[in-house]
Chains A and B, each alone.
Chain A
Amino acid sequence: MSEFLEPFERMLTALFPPDRVRAIDGGGEWEHERTEIEQSGFLDAMVPEASGGAGLSLADTSDLWRAVGRNAAPLAIGEAMIERADLDDTGRALLLAAAISGAADRVLAMTVAYAGERSQFGKPIGRQQALQQQLAVMAEDCVAIRMAVELAAASDVPDPLRVGAAKSVASAAAPRVANTAHAVHGAIGISAEYDLQLYTRRLHEWRAALGSETRWNRDLGHALLASHAPVLDWTRSRLFGEA
């Protein structure tokens, strides 16, 4: 984890409180924030140090993108990093998967906290086994998304198949995470003033952006079927970069 993550996240949290996110979602300008981010230098995260950037690896950069998702900050921040580093749509798909990971983690934390606070039948709803089981599955999905993103981000440059696996896992899990979060929150989660919806709407948007799971699964499946290799060998070499 790079030393940039903490100050980057602090900046995002300060610049994009939920009310600002709402205003921007409603079509509001964010010139002030844009300028602040511009001046912070974070947009040059992936630009080589020799060219005046921070020279961050794909892995460290994807941690920043997860922070974008955790804060429901404008995705354009990550896209600017991609443009400056001269990456293509594969990089953008990884950005989306990382943003899904960050948003899903935030939604899980909100939902677990809510389940501990909200009381019904004389005890916190999080004490009900039926809810505990759903929250456990949500946690599994969140960890799987993050691991798939870490795996795709472990290569030097975004690789279409590795990113495809990450976007597939993230896109497939995003609606499940959103649905469980809303099921646990009940009516309050449906209200506009409650922040949950800022994240769950993004989970659905980012799931579809640049193709949802079936689109990426197709690429993966065609490559695997064309290879004639056993599935473990193919997975190790093509998705893990093992020799």
Chain B
Amino acid sequence: MFDSLTLAAIPPEDEALRPQVRALAQEAVASLPLEQRARTWMGHDAAFSRKLGAAGLLGLTLPTEYGGGGRGPFARFVVVEELLAAGAPVGAHWIADRQSAPLILNFGTEAQRQFYIPRICRGEALFCIGMSEPGAGSDLAAVRTRAERSTSGWRLSGQKIWTTGAQHADYMIALVRTSGGPEDRHAGLSQVIVDLKLPGITVRPIEDLAGDEHFNEVFFDGVELADDALIGAEGQGWSQVTAELAFERSGPERIYSSLVLLDGWLAHLRKAGRNDDATAALVGGYVARLAALRAMSLACTARLAAGESPVVEASLVKDLGTSFEQELPIAIADDLASHDNPVDPDLMRALTYITRVTPSFSLRGGTREILRGIIARGLGLR
């Protein structure tokens, strides 16, 4: 079952990007403590994102005519893998590069492509995603934010919440209702691109349990949008979002959120001379799982490269990947707390941070239960 997922190797021309990315990533993290690097794709550094753009390392999957790399998903895989393994602060461009630009390429008008994509590729246009609302979490079709036709375009009213990076972003791609009501479910939903500098928009950061401000409440009070704010077809928002989520769920970030911590722990074990059988078996179990997950993620990348939208396959990888990411810090904490070797305070701080935020790994981008429902549908059970 799911036989379309099959082992795939990174093409040499994409693999060739690795040394350049690594050098940039190492430079960016050289002065950052482990605790900061553990934030990886939740870390915001707009200057670093522009630097990646200038080096031609953003928009790798996008056509060159829009300023992209004209390569494919494997090139992006290599870049993303290196950035996350180093713990580089990639949050600023993350969403635009991963899903907003491909969405605009797939569903946008020529004018929209010309307007947004080149700036995304330069790291100059930062995006956030307006999906969740107070009454619409896993049940995304329950969104109530409305865009109504006005004389000049659309008038937007409502509220989004848990919007990652909205306080830094230039634009939001929002899933909104353009007709009908919540009882119409998937019908009547559309996606609009909202310039977050427009009047009538209020962004309020929400402090998270680690003391960071990464997600936000966003209020729309009769925001006047131009006619071309609509992206894709009116009423097709649900199918567009589904395709977008396949991009969001299939990447290596669903495996590597705890990788910096794993390296920190390995350094600790090596320094302490802990090479007994029990320790080795504990370490080995995680690296075996990591290998299987990386192979699965590469297989998913091959489906994207073939032009498919591997919705079910991406859910498989994300669910298994986030389980790995969540179990790892628990095991490391148990190991460190059960041995007497002194632990570097920076490692402890990174562990504390990761331990606190790990529950979010299986919430963001679709909860574990929703993903398993998608897999069950793939098995023909619903």
Contact = CB atoms under 8 A, between A and B. Distances in A.
B63 to A, nearest CB: 28
Interface of A: 105, 108-109, 112, 115-116, 126-127, 129, 131-133, 135-137, 139-140, 142-145, 147-148, 150-151, 154, 164-165, 168-169, 172, 213-214, 216-222, 224-226, 228, 230-232, 234-235, 239-240, 242-243
Interface in B125-150: none
Contact of A168 (B277, B280, B285, B376): B285
Contacts of A116: 380-381
A124 B196 CA distance: 48
Nearest to B289: A169
Interface residues of B, number: 50
A90 to B, nearest CB: 15
A126 B289 CA distance: 29
A154 B15 CA distance: 18
Contacts of B299: 147
B292 A221 contact: no
Interface majority SS (helix, strand, loop, mixed), chain A: helix
B328 to A, nearest CB: 11
A170 B201 CA distance: 52
B291 A217 contact: no
Interface string B282-297: 1111011111111110
B284 A220 contact: yes
A147 B280 contact: no
Contact of A135 (B284, B291, B376): B376
A235 B287 contact: yes
A131 B381 CA distance: 10
For the complex of A and B, 3 pairs with smallest distance between CB atoms: A221-B280, A220-B284, A221-B284
B316 interface: yes
Interface of B: 1-2, 5-7, 10, 15, 81, 85, 259, 262-263, 266, 269-270, 274-275, 277, 279-285, 287-296, 299, 316, 319-320, 369, 371-373, 375-376, 378-382
A103 to B, nearest CB: 14
A133 B369 contact: yes
16 contacts: A135-B381, A139-B316, A139-B378, A142-B2, A143-B2, A143-B316, A144-B320, A145-B292, A148-B295, A154-B7, A214-B285, A219-B280, A221-B287, A225-B279, A239-B291, A242-B10
Nearest to B285: A217
Most buried by A among B2, B375, B379: B379
A27 B282 CA distance: 38
A231 B288 contact: no
B295 to A, nearest CB: 4
Contacts of B15: 242-243
Contacts of B263: 230-231
A235 B283 CA distance: 12
A217 B275 CA distance: 13
B263 to A, nearest CB: 5
Contacts of A231: 259, 262-263, 266, 287, 290
Contact of B372 (A137, A225, A234): A137
A147 B302 CA distance: 14
B292 A165 contact: yes
Contacts of B294: 235, 240
Contact of A216 (B275, B283, B284): B284
Given A135-B379, A140-B375, A224-B287, 12 more contacts: A109-B1, A132-B373, A136-B371, A136-B376, A142-B2, A151-B295, A164-B288, A168-B285, A217-B280, A221-B281, A231-B287, A235-B290
Contact of B376 (A133, A145, A169): A133
Contacts of B296: 143-144, 147
B85 A221 contact: no
Contacts of B295: 147-148, 150-151, 240
A136 B316 CA distance: 8
A220 to B, nearest CB: 3
A54 B308 CA distance: 35
Given A150-B7, A231-B263, A231-B287, A222 B375 contact: no
Contact of B270 (A140, A154, A219, A225): A225
